[in-house]
Amino acid sequence: MSKIDPSPAQAVAGATAVAENAFARLPLSASMQSNLQQLGYLAMTPIQAASLPLALAGRDLIAQAKTGSGKTAAFALPLLHNLNPRRFAVQALVLCPTRELADQVTQEIRRLARAEDNIKTLTLCGGVPLRNQLTSLAHGAHIVVGTPGRILDHLSRQSLALDALNTLVLDEADRMLDMGFADDIAQVAQACPTTRQTLLFSATYPEGISKLAARFLRNPQEVKLTERHAATKIRQRFYEVKDTERLHAVSQLLNHFRPVSTLAFCNTKLRCRELVAVLQAQGFAALELHGDLDQRERDQVLVQFANRSCSVLVATDVAARGLDIAQLEAVINVDITPDPEVHIHRVGRTGRADGEGWAFSLASMDEMGSVGRIDAMQGSESPWHPLSELSDADNTDPLQPPMVTLQIVGGRKEKIRPGDVLGALTKDLGFAGSQIGKINVNEFSTYVAVERSVADAVLRGLNAGKVKGKSVKVRRL
Ligand code: ADP
Ligand code: MG
């Protein structure tokens, strides 16, 4: 939670003393220090403070901290530190479980790499044609971020050489294990020079991690942060439900507390499917994130949730792993997870920006054993509230998200940039910038979030007008 707020200690210390968690304590170049300032990284997060001094000193690391704690910079800064930009060879490789996580990591590395000129970072993941990747590789890259399978493909085609590699990173190692990548990872590691530095990052610490680490880390330091969240910032409430009431209780919570963005966790895919069906039937903007979505569908779901045009994202723990979503007002545990660590992890997803958030849990009699384990782990008793205190759904307007997503056919392939869309909406059509939310340009589509009240007008305007001098097709998602 401390990632946004500089600690009060640092604010008071000002220029006279360097606070313990200040980046200025690290042996980083002056340009990197000022880049961090520009990014608003005023103080290290706890996992960064614990791991950066060791990693920058060249140690192998096993680092564990929850999602959203700033792990990316904790490995990106050391790999950039090890890098020689004048040497045109792949010097760092980051393995990630999915394309979407690889994209997030690439973005963060690029922002951090801005301190130096001309550092090239390339993403290599499955699900996209090899041809473009081969061309990009031929142009050279300093840093590669990718999924284990696709990296192996390139190694076997000899389109990727790792002999100049000095940093190997395994990000979301627990998830890669879940997905059965252990052997692929070991094979990739074998293709790296033995003198490299290896950094392993993970949100949880299942048994398999130490086994994996033992295979190819050298005398690693362990950095574990199973921090408890500040109880005052996250308000937890438990409701006892009968199984027959559970799905309806979710809509009661939504209508009563009216959070803009809610992540609803279910223990099974079946429960996810049931819940989304019920919520949608009641008029909620609810979407499900699950493994059977193809990449385009998945992108659409995430874009809509992040741009505040979807009120509820329903997911299992596996599907929700690693998503970097800020501004979650609420988390709902539709089922109680049998693993108390998972509960703490779920609850920690809420209230990440201003630190405030709701965590609601629905528990049936059968789940009281799990609630007991959660209480034991949290060191406090769960606060129970009766369902009857929630306002009657029939008496309130149905909860609606503030924004609506419009999909424009055409994206990076057509060289559309966010500015083109913004220009068409504000200059050509006269809408106010404040009525327009996030603009996401994907390969073949562009998504723009607009305020609900102007959505129809924007849709008509864009369909009749032009973007980048061309007529476009637009539809409401
Ligand atoms: P994790 O990998 O642990 O889930 P991320 O690396 O994705 O977490 O970081 C979560 C968010 O915190 C990102 O938006 C990132 O830009 C931001 N962040 C990371 N480090 C800092 C910092 N020191 N100060 C402020 N924000 C930070
Ligand atoms: Mg991460």
For the domain spanning 403-476, the CATH number is 3.30.70.330
- If one counts every other C-beta atom within 10 angstroms of the C-beta of residue 38, the result is 11
- If one counts every other C-beta atom within 10 angstroms of the C-beta of residue 199, the result is 29
DSSP-based helix, strand, coil % in the chain, nearest 5: 40, 20, 40
Mean pLDDT of 211-226: 88
Mean pLDDT of the chain: 88
pLDDT tens-digit map of 429-463: 999 888 888 888 888 999 999 999 999 999 999 99
- If one counts every other C-beta atom within 10 angstroms of the C-beta of residue 54, the result is 18
Mean pLDDT of 69-85: 96
Which protein residue has the closest C-alpha to ligand 1 atom 13? 70
Distance (Å, rounded) from C-alpha 49 to C-alpha 43?
9
Mean pLDDT of 328-349: 91
Q: Is the CB of 324 under 6 A from ligand 1?
A: yes
Which protein residue has the closest C-alpha to ligand 1 atom 18? 70
For the record, the structure tokens of 5 come out as 């707020």
Q: Is the pLDDT of residue 271 over 90?
A: yes
**What is the model's pLDDT at position 226?**
63
The Cα-based distances of 58 to 221, 264, 372, 422 in angstroms read 11, 40, 43, 45
**What is the model's pLDDT at position 3?**
36
Residue 294 burial (CB < 10 Å; 0-12/13-18/19+)? exposed
**What is the model's pLDDT at position 82?**
97
Picking from 266, 252, 280, 231, the residue whose alpha carbon sits closest to that of residue 380 is: 231
Distance (Å, rounded) from C-alpha 359 to C-alpha 269?
21
Distance (Å, rounded) from C-alpha 394 to C-alpha 414?
47
Considering only the C-alpha atoms of the chain, give the largest distance between any 2 of them, rounded to a whole number of Å: 67
pLDDT tens-digit map of 115-149: 888 999 999 998 788 999 999 999 999 999 999 99
Nearest-5° Cα angle at 53, 15 to 100: 105
Residues 6+ apart with CB under 8 A from 411: 441, 442, 443, 444, 445, 446
Residue 9 pLDDT level (bands cut at 50, 70, 90): very low
Q: Is the CB of 298 under 6 A from ligand 1?
A: no
User: Which helix (H) or strand (E) covers residue 200, if one does?
Assistant: strand 197-202
Residue 398 pLDDT level (bands cut at 50, 70, 90): confident
Beta bridge partners of 240: 363
Per-residue 3-state assignment (H helix, E strand, C coil) for 264-316: EECCCHHHHHHHHHHHHHCCCCEEEECCCCCHHHHHHHHHHHHCCCCCEEEEC
Q: Which amino acid is at 219?
A: N
Mean pLDDT of 137-164: 96
The Cα-based distances of 421 to 59, 256, 402, 416, 475 in angstroms read 46, 36, 20, 8, 14
Residue 326 pLDDT level (bands cut at 50, 70, 90): low
**What is the model's pLDDT at position 393?**
57
**What is the model's pLDDT at position 12?**
38
3-state class (DSSP) for residue 326: coil
**What is the model's pLDDT at position 200?**
97
If one compares 252 and 351, the residue with the highest pLDDT of the two is: 252
**What is the model's pLDDT at position 243?**
94
Segment among 32-36, 360-364, 458-462, 469-473 with least mean pLDDT? 469-473
Give me ligand 1 centre to Cα 468, in Å.
34
Mean pLDDT of 40-52: 93
Q: Is the pLDDT of residue 150 over 80?
A: yes
User: Which atom in ligand 1 lies closest to the alpha carbon of residue 41?
Assistant: 24
Q: Is the pLDDT of residue 232 over 80?
A: no
Q: Is the pLDDT of residue 420 over 50?
A: yes
Which protein residue has the closest C-alpha to ligand 1 atom 9? 70
Q: Is the CB of 44 under 6 A from ligand 1?
A: yes
Percentage of the chain exceeding pLDDT 90: 64
Q: Start-end ranges of CATH 3.40.50.300 in the chain?
A: 12-224, 234-395
Which protein residue has the closest C-alpha to ligand 1 atom 20? 70
Q: Is the pLDDT of residue 16 over 50?
A: no
CB 357 within 8 A of CB 325: no
Mean pLDDT of 157-166: 96
Assigned superfamily of 234-395: P-loop containing nucleotide triphosphate hydrolases (3.40.50.300)
Give me ligand 1 centre to Cα 36, in Å.
12
Give me ligand 2 centre to Cα 121, in Å.
17
**What is the model's pLDDT at position 6?**
36
Q: Is the CB of 69 under 6 A from ligand 1?
A: yes
Distance (Å, rounded) from C-alpha 445 to C-alpha 407?
7
Q: Is the pLDDT of residue 77 over 90?
A: yes
Distance (Å, rounded) from C-alpha 466 to C-alpha 425?
10
Give me ligand 2 centre to Cα 101, in Å.
7
CB 213 within 8 A of CB 168: no
Segment among 196-205, 254-263, 324-333, 344-353 with least mean pLDDT? 344-353
3-state class (DSSP) for residue 349: coil
Mean pLDDT of 218-224: 92
Distance (Å, rounded) from C-alpha 109 to C-alpha 171?
13
Q: Which amino acid is at 173?
A: A
Residue 210 pLDDT level (bands cut at 50, 70, 90): confident
Mean pLDDT of 305-333: 87
Segment among 115-119, 137-141, 176-180, 251-255 with least mean pLDDT? 176-180
Distance (Å, rounded) from C-alpha 265 to C-alpha 319?
10
**What is the model's pLDDT at position 2?**
33
3-state class (DSSP) for residue 92: strand
3-state class (DSSP) for residue 254: helix
Give me ligand 2 centre to Cα 294, in Å.
22
**CATH T-level fold of 12-224:** Rossmann fold (3.40.50)
Which protein residue has the closest C-alpha to ligand 1 atom 12? 70
Q: Which of 213-217, 323-327, 368-372 has the highest mean pLDDT?
A: 368-372
**What is the model's pLDDT at position 13?**
36
Unique residue bearing structure tokens 């790499």 = 113
User: Which atom in ligand 1 lies closest to the alpha carbon of residue 203?
Assistant: 3
